[in-house]
């Protein structure tokens, strides 16, 4: 492989403890979607599609974007919707920040989230957001 070839898939992974449970976190950026996998069971769980509301796409994204979530596969648990919206707002924030650095408008791709968590709590969400802050700097 030539040294100038860019990796076609931007991704980052993390393996460590979140709220006392070993957790795998994978983020990836594809041309048409972003992807997040968070598992404490070493397998896929509930798949949720998250999109920025269409009304937000026509305007400059405010500090409080709103999202539409839809379970594609698995359990429809309210806490997973909360997690999905929270991490989607991080993706939007990082996309806007990176776009501003290079002087272009942010492009907001839909997000596919997959959660398989033993205890989807506030503590778990807080620790996950801290991990994603670092990962998204390298992926988006």
Long-range contacts, 82-86 (Cβ 8 Å, 24+): 82/125, 83/38, 83/113, 83/115, 83/117, 83/120, 83/125, 83/128, 84/48, 84/50, 84/111, 84/113, 84/115, 85/50, 86/125, 86/129
Spell out the domain ranges in the chain. Answer: 10-139
User: Residue 57: pLDDT above 60?
Assistant: no
User: Which residue did the predictor score with more confidence, 102 or 39?
Assistant: 39
Q: pLDDT for 59-100, tens place per residue?
A: 555 557 789 999 999 999 999 999 999 999 999 888 888 767
Looking at residues 106-133, what average pLDDT do you find? 93
Q: Which CATH number among 3.50.50.60, 3.30.230.90, 3.40.50.720, 3.30.1320.10 corresponds to the domain 10-139?
A: 3.30.230.90
């Amino acid at each position: 492989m030539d040294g100038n070839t860019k990796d076609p898939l931007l991704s980052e992974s993390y393996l460590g403890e979140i709220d006392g449970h070993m957790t795998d976190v994978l983020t990836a950026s594809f041309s048409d979607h972003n992807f997040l996998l968070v598992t404490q069971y070493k397998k896929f769980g509930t798949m949720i599609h998250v999109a920025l509301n269409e009304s937000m796409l026509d305007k400059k994204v405010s500090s409080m974007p709103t999202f539409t979530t839809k379970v594609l596969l698995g359990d429809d648990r309210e806490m997973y919707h909360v997690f999905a919206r929270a991490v989607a707002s991080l993706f939007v924030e990082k996309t806007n920040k990176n776009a501003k650095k290079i002087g272009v408008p942010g492009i907001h791709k839909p997000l596919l989230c997959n959660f398989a968590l033993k205890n989807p709590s506030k503590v778990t969400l807080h620790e996950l957001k801290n991990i994603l802050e670092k990962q998204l700097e390298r992926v988006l």
